[in-house]
Amino acid sequence: MIIMLEVASLECVRGDLSLFNDLTFSVNAGELMHLHGHNGSGKTTLLRTLSGLVKPVHGEVLWLGENIDELQEDFTRHLTYIGHKNAIKDDLSAVENLQIASLLDGFAVSDEQAWQALDRIGLRGMEDLPTKVLSQGQKKRVALARLLVTQTSLWILDEPFVALDKQAVVLLEQVIRDHIANGGLAIVTTHQEVSLTRGKVKELKLGWK
């Protein structure tokens, strides 16, 4: 069996501080990994490294056995990364933001698909508004709507439940569960207590000795 995502002897630093070193793990199809650790332990740095946005000092990240730095777009077309920042354009509507993000992921989303996704995520009546008028929680929903339409297999989600109400948390948990059940893989970090991270979940702890 070919491992989909593999991390080998990884080390990342911030300034003169080594956040973690000799980090080795793998995540395969149908698996969810819960990444946790105290503030400053390097969770966001690790997620950005797995997404190809940060270069490690040592070690490598492999996708289907090949280094992601060498694969470049052949890797990123399989990836949806949602970080702390929502990465949405304030002057564009929710529909426009979702369609542009999907194009960057490598596929087109029709107006109807975008409206349906935004309706499902709880933004009915706000689809055509410029996102600068939305609350932080609503902006978060715009960013997360990508998960309702994406065709990517690897999801890397940094604190996706922040600023969401209980109903949206339940919906997002189910979306991630469905993705895993359909053979996708996901790496999630969250400070919130959610049922998603209990049960049959891989655990990766940073900052524990």
pTM of the model: 0.95
pLDDT of residue 87: 87
Phi and psi based region of residue 152 (left: phi greater than 0; alpha: psi -120 to 50; beta: remaining): beta
Task: Look at residues 115, 117, 108, 170 and name the one whose alpha carbon lies nearest to residue 147.
Answer: 117
Cα distance between residue 31 and residue 184, in whole Å = 7
pLDDT averages per 10-residue partition of the chain, 209 residues: 88 91 96 93 96 96 97 95 91 96 89 96 95 94 95 96 92 96 96 89 84
pLDDT of residue 34: 97
